[in-house]
Chains A and B, each alone.
Chain A
Amino acid sequence: MSAVAAGSFSGAFRWAFARDLRLSWRHPGETMLMVAFFVLVASLFPLGVGAEPQLLQRIGPGVIWVCALLAAFLSLPALFAGDYADGTLEQMLLSPHPMSGWVSGKIAAHWMASGIPLTLLSPFLALQYGLDAGTLTILACALALGTPLLSLLGAACAALTLGARGAGMLLALLALPLFVPVLIFGAGAAEAQSSGLSPSPHLSLLGAGLIVGAMALPAAACVAIRIALD
């Protein structure tokens, strides 16, 4: 009797992914601003700490990671807030699709619009810091593995702060401490490479974190959204 096929995870994922990407494509300004922020802050450090090449090489991976983390954080408050305000979240929640599908889709779209540009840009910034080719590659790999985890963690926190007073500051208080392990292992991978050690343990931990995060965090975000809409 049902005219509507009971929904599928992948269908919901594709719906949210395509829609969010289309929206950020309509408004490339936000992504541009984030990228500009990333480049600008990363360029401020040599001015602040002095342009001594050895020092820059030493702090480069860490600085680029911190800048990427903050830049990715900038777009988090808007991840669910827009959909929350205009009623899209209600529609998604009441759709016959599993909620984790479209939440995962939204997170993936957020990563496409934040993590990927940051990862692609990082080698250019790394050149600014005089990092060698090997370190630069590992840095980009670490960002490619770490930024989706940032999106996942950030999405769960963003969903928790929906409708809260002072949501932006609160999101920083919740998300930034949770980003700490990602930062440690992400920057650690590039640092290990630059000092002639194997970056693989750090990358393995990032990979493991990403797998576990991809399984658990969308579910946490779903619960948080349910709480927000109650």
Chain B
Amino acid sequence: MKPRTRRAIWIVSGLAALGIASALVLNAFQSNLVFFFTPSQVAAHEAPSGRAFRIGGLVEAGSVVHEKDALTVHFRVTDTAQTIPVVFTGHLPDLFREGKGVVAQGRLMGDGTFHASDVLAKHDENYMPPEAAEALRKAGHPIDKAAFAGQKGKS
């Protein structure tokens, strides 16, 4: 084999290998790599049963109910398409508010409620003074949607 042919074969096979590698990466990013699901995915039974995973979404406005012991709290997480009821006992983070982003770790029970062992607040990349936020809200811009706007999901 001539050196030039040999080099051509090396280059072609190298490019082919890189092509396969990028196809594999693209394939991987089509699906869920972390145990993180949106309410729509949970509703579509894509989330694992009997195993802890995380759900993310917005706390539905007006859904937060504190039980009498003041530690257990019920709320619903929504991605505006589907909602999942969540039960959590413990201290909520300061930024936990209705209408804000939240990530909850826990298990899905048979009755469709999500029993969270941890609740984390996800905040967005917007920084503004309260007056500006108020003005935006009056103008009808739901700024909190941005918190999950960048998220992928099959929903």
Binding site for B on A (CB under 8 A): 58, 185, 188, 191, 194-198, 200-202, 204-205, 207-208, 211-212, 214-215
Contact = CB atoms under 8 A, between A and B. Distances in A.
A208 B28 contact: yes
Contacts of A196: 48-49, 51
B21 interface: yes
Nearest to A194: B51
A201 B27 contact: yes
Contact of A201 (B33, B35, B53): B33
Contacts of A211: 17-18, 20-21, 24
B63 interface: no
Contacts, number: 57
Contacts of A208: 20-22, 24-25, 28
B127 interface: no
B50 interface: yes
A197 B48 contact: yes
Contacts of A188: 33-34
Contact of B33 (A194, A205, A207, A215): A205
A37 B19 CA distance: 38
A201 B35 CA distance: 12
A16 B20 CA distance: 28
Interface in B8-39: 14, 17-18, 20-22, 24-25, 27-35
Nearest to A8: B6
B29 A201 contact: yes
A188 to B, nearest CB: 7
A97 to B, nearest CB: 14
Contact of A205 (B25, B32, B46): B25
A214 B51 CA distance: 35
Contacts of B50: 195
Given A211-B17, A211-B18, A212-B18, A197 B28 contact: no
Interface of B: 14, 17-18, 20-22, 24-25, 27-35, 46, 48-51, 53
Contacts of B27: 200-201, 204
A200 B27 CA distance: 9
B51 A201 contact: no
Contact of A195 (B14, B17, B34, B48): B48
A194 B121 CA distance: 28
A207 B24 contact: yes
A204 B24 contact: yes
Given A204-B25, A204-B27, A205-B25, A197 B20 contact: no
A196 B28 CA distance: 17
Contacts of A212: 18, 21
Contacts of A204: 24-25, 27-28
19 contacts: A188-B34, A196-B49, A200-B28, A201-B28, A201-B31, A201-B32, A201-B33, A204-B27, A205-B24, A205-B28, A207-B21, A207-B24, A208-B20, A208-B22, A211-B21, A211-B24, A212-B21, A214-B17, A215-B18
A204 B29 CA distance: 9
A215 B14 contact: yes
A212 B18 CA distance: 7
A194 B52 CA distance: 12
3 tightest Cβ-Cβ pairs between the two chains A and B: A195-B48, A195-B51, A208-B24
Nearest to A6: B3
Contacts of B24: 204-205, 207-208, 211
